[in-house]
Amino acid sequence: MYVKAEEVLPADLLAEIQEYVQGVELYIPKRPEARLGWGERNGARQQIRSRNREIAERYQRGESIASLMERYHLSYDSIRKIVSSGRKE
């Protein structure tokens, strides 16, 4: 989003910034504590966690890796990683 600095910054702060840069677009990042991790905004992270729990549970109940690969469209290595991390939890 583009915002004119003179519309949102106090004049003294704008003058201070102009000591360093003038006439260029300046990106100001969010504070680290305000940043969201991957998938937190749209729920993707939670969906993957839920899917992985389901895969681990199905495997523990005896479903084969080949069947899980086909059901979830994941590689052998991905399924193995999920079921071995499911054992640790």
Give per-residue pLDDT as tens, 41-69: 788 889 999 999 999 999 999 999 999 99
Q: Which residues contact 82 (CB under 8 A, 6 or more apart)?
A: 52, 55, 56, 74
Other residues' Cβ atoms within 10 Å of the Cβ of residue 49: 11
The number of angstroms, rounded, from the C-alpha of 62 to the middle of its chain's C-alpha atoms is 32
Model confidence, pTM: 0.58
**Percent residues over pLDDT 70 in the chain:** 96
Q: pLDDT, tens digit, for every residue of 24-36?
A: 988 888 887 777 7
Residue 60: which residues within 8 A CB-CB, separation 6 or more? 83, 86
